[in-house]
Amino acid sequence: MTGPLDPGTVERLCREALGRPVRVHDVHRLRGGTKKGVFRVTTSGGPPVVLYVWHEDEDWWHGSEDPAADVEPFTAANGLELLTGAHDLLTGIGVRVPRILHVERRGAELPVDCAVVEDVAGGSLQDLLASDAEAAVPALAELHGHLSRMATTTATRWGKVLHTGSPAGPQPPFHEVVAHQARRHLTAASAHEPRLAAAADRVEALLLDRVAAVGVREPVTHGLVHGELGPDHVLIDATGRPVLVDLEGLMWADVEWEHAFLDLRFGEHYARLRLPGLDPARLALYRLALHLSLVEGPLRLVAQGFPDAGVMEEIAEHNLGKVLADVPG
């Protein structure tokens, strides 16, 4: 099943992507996608490929009201144009991402935007770390190099890679935008989680303290930030190289935003990814903001009927514990 695409259309897309006659043998939905459908397509006559499908029926966030949805650069990280823009930018600086083989946009003959991309079939870095952490060391070292190139590819404005040219004019500091987003997530999550509601005033006070601790950065520069780079969003190719996926959220931002997330997701392995010169005050603020986002967002998905509700509830509970552990009693 590929949502609104019929088997003949899937076969045609694969034929266009591979440049040869193929027959679709099997279509398998890959787990984890919340904003687009992700399918592995195996064929006779060609290698397997991965098909991305953008349609409201494949977007579990569609129709839910994100309390920070209008806060650029945290608007919806979803869509074909964002993928192709991120792909081209990252490929241009030597960061390994899946090759895009074919794209087609919604039109009279196609009810969705879609892309056919390289199937990186070596599993995820998350799985490799769990099964053989020592074998993952070379991939972590190369990922560190990717992160360094991204951090040193800079822009003077923050925003998603396709949006930084507009609107013109001065921008507030990136850390103030993050704090604004975090306050809205705190309010929204408190409406559904009594333990957070009981501590909301103390959490907001802590948030304001962390904002006040952030100093002025001169000159103002922002690096390339994936935005959601957990070990599950790094695949391993046949040669053992790390490959970044789920690229649509790529933005120009404080590099500390990326590294606060990396620290949360990689845990004990983060030491191999840390870059020099990161600002501790920004890291502290961004960790708190991320924890609040990871309470509010999963609870909203659960309310939408997300099929892996238990996983989302675990994420929300874990991050709620982190927030409450940080606030004074």
Per-domain residue ranges of the chain: 7-118, 125-326
Which pLDDT belongs to residue 101?
97
- Quickly state the pLDDT bin for 133 (edges 50, 70, 90): very high
Question: Which of 199, 149, 144, 210 is CA-nearest to residue 175?
Answer: 210
Give me the residues paired with residue 147 across strands: none
- The pLDDT of 1-25, averaged and rounded, is 86
Which pLDDT belongs to residue 59?
61
Which pLDDT belongs to residue 233?
95
Q: What does pLDDT average to over the chain?
A: 89
- Quote the percentage of the chain above a pLDDT of 90: 69
- The pLDDT of 142-171, averaged and rounded, is 85
- Quickly state the pLDDT bin for 325 (edges 50, 70, 90): very high
Question: Which of 99, 79, 81 is CA-nearest to residue 90?
Answer: 99
Which pLDDT belongs to residue 91?
97
Segment among 19-33, 136-150, 208-222 with least mean pLDDT: 19-33
- The pLDDT of 171-198, averaged and rounded, is 94
Which pLDDT belongs to residue 74?
78
Domain 7-118 sits in CATH at 3.30.200
Residue 248 · residue 79 · CB < 8 Å? yes
DSSP reduced 3-state for 242: strand
The two three-digit tokens of residue 235, written as one number: 């695949």
The two three-digit tokens of residue 90, written as one number: 């990252």
- The pLDDT of 25-38, averaged and rounded, is 80
- Quickly state the pLDDT bin for 291 (edges 50, 70, 90): very high
Q: Interior CA angle at 186 toward 183 and 188, to 5°?
A: 110
DSSP assignments along 98-123, one per residue: PPEEEEE--BTTBSSEEEEEE---S-
* 252 φ, ψ (degrees, to nearest 5): -90, 125
DSSP tag of 43:
E
Segment among 4-18, 63-77, 89-103 with least mean pLDDT: 63-77
DSSP assignments along 262-289, one per residue: HHHHHGGGGGGTPPTT--HHHHHHHHHH
Give, in order, the Cα–Cα distances in Å from 89 to each of 83, 97, 248, 281.
10, 10, 12, 29
Which pLDDT belongs to residue 221?
92
Q: What whole-number distance in Å separates Cα of residue 52 and Cα of residue 10?
A: 11
- The pLDDT of 128-156, averaged and rounded, is 97
- The pLDDT of 89-111, averaged and rounded, is 92
Q: Interior CA angle at 125 toward 265 and 260, to 5°?
A: 20
Q: What whole-number distance in Å separates Cα of residue 50 and Cα of residue 2?
A: 11
- Quickly state the pLDDT bin for 167 (edges 50, 70, 90): low
The two three-digit tokens of residue 61, written as one number: 């966030």
The two three-digit tokens of residue 125, written as one number: 């870095």
- The pLDDT of 147-162, averaged and rounded, is 93
- Quickly state the pLDDT bin for 36 (edges 50, 70, 90): confident
Which pLDDT belongs to residue 292?
97
49-81 tens-digit pLDDT: 999 998 776 665 555 555 555 566 777 667 899
Question: Which of 68, 9, 71, 1 is CA-nearest to residue 37?
Answer: 1
- The pLDDT of 214-220, averaged and rounded, is 91
Segment among 27-31, 49-53, 74-78, 120-124 with least mean pLDDT: 74-78
The alpha carbon of 231 is separated from its chain's Cα centroid by a whole number of angstroms, namely 11
CATH class assigned to 125-326? alpha beta
248-266 tens-digit pLDDT: 999 999 999 999 999 999 9
Which amino acid is present at 269? Answer: H
226-255 tens-digit pLDDT: 999 999 999 999 999 999 999 999 999 999
Give me the residues paired with residue 252 across strands: 159, 224
